[in-house]
Amino acid sequence: MKEYKREYPLFSLCGLNCGLCPRYQSEGTTRCPGCGGKDFHLQHPSCAVITCSKKHGDVEYCFLCKNYPCNRYKCPSEKDSFITYRNVINDMQKAIDNGIEQYQAELNEKILFLEYLISNFNDGRKKNFFCIAINLLDLADLNDIKEHIKKCDETIPQKDKVKMVESWFNEKAKSKNINFKLRK
């Protein structure tokens, strides 16, 4: 595939939240720049969705295509990759209903919170957990967890804080009937 560039690579053409993916949040040669980010074509030499977009007027997002929803979205994948596909349809619908700028603002807020969590509460095994959790929970739920974190006693050992933060996410997931495991 030739070089493929997009204005906002953090929300993919196909509706994935690239900015919430562990590969985007990593460093080194395996880091993905997001859909259409710098050197994207080197990380992803072929992509059926990009090929399809080119055949349908080079739309910025699949939901802007005159054929949306096509079969790809009428029967969405029940398997995940590095990132969960569970909210793709809902996230694209939010972008349709509220406008892409508002959706991007919400996604940017989620990305900032994810980066804060990775910097402050990743014990070396929590990055994927946080990526999935931030992706699947809505902003109101994440703001509840932020409030818990703000009230957290500074004298608590870091190891215990990490466990507390994880438990707050798991409690929220349980109350919403959400599973933080990738579907394989």
Average pLDDT over residues 78-99: 95
- Decide if pLDDT at 75 tops 70: yes
Which of 63-67, 95-99, 120-124, 171-175 comes out lowest in average pLDDT? 120-124
Report yes or no on 32 lying in a domain.
yes
Total domains in the fold of the chain: 1
Report yes or no on 73 lying in a domain.
yes
Report yes or no on 182 lying in a domain.
no
Average pLDDT over residues 142-147: 97
How far apart are the C-alpha atoms of 20 and 114, rounded to whole Å? 7
Full residue range of the structural domain in which residue 106 is found: 18-176
Report yes or no on 10 lying in a domain.
no
In this prediction, residue 115 carries a pLDDT of: 98
Q: Exposed e or buried b for every residue in 115-138, given b needs 16+ CB within 10 A?
A: eebbeebbeeebbbbbbbbbbbbe
User: Whole-prediction pTM value?
Assistant: 0.94
Read off the pLDDT band of 1 (50, 70, 90).
low
Report yes or no on 133 lying in a domain.
yes
Report yes or no on 74 lying in a domain.
yes
Percent pLDDT > 70 in the chain is: 99
How far apart are the C-alpha atoms of 67 and 170, rounded to whole Å? 38
How far apart are the C-alpha atoms of 39 and 102, rounded to whole Å? 27
Report yes or no on 129 lying in a domain.
yes
How far apart are the C-alpha atoms of 99 and 27, rounded to whole Å? 31
Read off the pLDDT band of 3 (50, 70, 90).
confident
Report yes or no on 183 lying in a domain.
no
* CB-side neighbour CA atoms (13 Å) of 108: 8
Q: Which tokens hold the place of 33?
A: 């720049």
- Decide if pLDDT at 167 tops 90: yes
